[in-house]
């Protein structure tokens, strides 16, 4: 089988998935075990298939994860592969879960973070610059938003520990400065912060990782935004009094990109242009019954179209020839009827009847009509021959 999930394949898996009656669009191990055991694969293989498929490790399979499991099973049963991979190949990773796979891989390989990586606070502080830049460049803003989107909950809020993996990549930023930055953007000491606060928090960490000292306060425009119960995110208004710094040529090129390794973990690296895995976004929130019926309708329409095409190929494609052929047929039938009528009347000449003169008049009239029809038929035959000759040339 090709190294991708075909549309027909996904629809087949959906029929199996929906037939197992998922709860909240997920299947438990008990429900999936019926299909797994029918494959007659051994227990170790089925256990590995489950581990590879349950990407979010919640103990259940959603539809995307179920597709992965089914493809792995079919590949083994059909002999397409001799053994299961130790990790999912990129083409089989759903695009919506790529960041989870990358994060799990990074965690399994271990982290370079260690308390020993933190430099002495006093020596480091002496080297820091007080020239803090509040301006957020479009590139930095994009990175911050990627981190925020990947880490926030359904209400758009973020807890301090939600970014723990990010902190571990910032080896030049001590924990005390991370906490100070959090307190700066969270003056009410709430458990969570919102998007406005998160972007500024990440910007402070970015500046600190670039050798800038964490400031003791924030601009009044930003502080006013943080004090709102329901902040309105407007980066331009928040930075109304924050001007873009003038920097020497080449300054930007010397500044390292913020949280590159963490962005790679969550699948939001600014330098990554290659897409990974299968994109299931087209099937999200889809009415699968509608999809199935639509497909059946398309199949019927294609069948009807094919029948009509075959029928048209059996007939002469030229409408003029078709019309002449039909006229010829009708005239031949009429002529046959008239000839039968004449023969019938001639046979009845010797039988008793009303008026012989009347019968003779009828015969003469019919013979005249027959002659006229024969002439008309001949003219149509000539026209037909002429049309056919024209078409051949």
Convert the pLDDT of each residue in 233-244 to its tens digit: 344 444 444 445
Q: Compute the Cα dihedral for 106, 111, 112, 113 and give only its sign.
A: positive
Q: Which of 46-60, 271-285, 370-384 has the highest mean pLDDT?
A: 46-60
Where is average pLDDT lowest: 31-45, 76-90, 304-318, 345-359?
345-359
- Quickly state the pLDDT bin for 251 (edges 50, 70, 90): very low
Domains plus CATH for the chain?
7-105 (1.10.238.10), 138-227 (1.10.238.10)
Where is average pLDDT lowest: 18-27, 65-74, 372-381?
372-381
pLDDT of 272 strictly over 70: no
pLDDT of 317 strictly over 80: no
What is the widest separation between alpha-carbon atoms in the chain? Answer: 141
Please give the pLDDT value at position 202. 93
Residues 85 and 146: their CA atoms lie apart, in Å, by 31
- Quickly state the pLDDT bin for 354 (edges 50, 70, 90): low
Residues 151 and 108: their CA atoms lie apart, in Å, by 20
Phi, psi of 324, deg, nearest 5 = -65, -40
| 267/1: higher pLDDT | 267
pLDDT of 286 strictly over 60: no
Are residues 258 and 143 in contact, defined by beta-carbon separation less than 8 angstroms? yes
- Quickly state the pLDDT bin for 219 (edges 50, 70, 90): confident
Are residues 60 and 22 in contact, defined by beta-carbon separation less than 8 angstroms? no
SS3 state of residue 159: strand
């Amino acid at each position: 089988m090709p190294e991708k999930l075909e549309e027909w394949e996904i629809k087949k898996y959906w029929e199996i998935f929906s037939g197992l009656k998922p709860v909240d669009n997920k299947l438990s191990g008990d429900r999936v075990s019926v299909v797994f055991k029918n494959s007659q694969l051994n227990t170790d293989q089925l256990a590995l298939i489950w581990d590879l498929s349950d990407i979010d490790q919640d103990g259940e399979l959603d539809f995307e994860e179920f597709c992965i499991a089914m493809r792995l099973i079919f590949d083994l049963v059909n002999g397409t592969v001799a053994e299961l991979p130790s990790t999912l190949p990129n083409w089989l990773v759903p695009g919506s879960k790529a960041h989870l796979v990358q994060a799990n891989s990074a965690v399994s390989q271990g982290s370079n973070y260690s308390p020993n990586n933190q430099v002495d606070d006093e020596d480091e502080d002496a080297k820091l610059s007080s020239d803090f830049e509040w301006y957020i460049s479009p590139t930095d803003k994009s990175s911050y938003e990627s981190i925020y989107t990947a880490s926030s909950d359904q209400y758009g809020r973020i807890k301090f520990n939600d970014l723990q993996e990010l902190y571990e990549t910032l080896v030049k930023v001590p924990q005390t400065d991370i906490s100070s930055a959090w307190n700066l953007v969270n003056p009410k000491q709430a458990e969570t912060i919102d998007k406005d606060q998160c972007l500024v928090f990440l910007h402070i960490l970015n500046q600190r990782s670039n050798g800038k000292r964490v400031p003791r306060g924030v601009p009044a425009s930003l502080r006013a935004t943080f004090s709102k119960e329901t902040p309105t995110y407007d980066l331009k208004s928040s930075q109304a009094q924050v001007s873009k710094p003038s920097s020497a040529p080449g300054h930007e090129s010397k500044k390292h990109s913020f949280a590159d390794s963490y962005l790679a973990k969550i699948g939001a690296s600014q330098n990554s242009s290659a897409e990974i895995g299968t994109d299931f976004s087209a099937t999200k929130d889809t009415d699968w019954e509608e999809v199935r019926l639509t497909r059946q309708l398309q199949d019927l329409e294609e069948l009807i179209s094919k029948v009509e095409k075959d029928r048209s190929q059996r007939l002469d494609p030229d409408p003029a020839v078709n019309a002449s052929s039909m006229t010829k047929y009708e005239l031949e039938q009429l002529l046959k009827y008239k000839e039968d009528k004449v023969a019938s009347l001639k046979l009845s000449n010797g039988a008793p009847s009303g008026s012989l003169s009347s019968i003779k008049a009828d015969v003469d009239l019919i013979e005249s009509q027959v002659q006229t029809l024969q002439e008309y038929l001949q003219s149509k035959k000539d026209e037909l021959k002429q049309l056919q000759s024209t078409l051949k040339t």
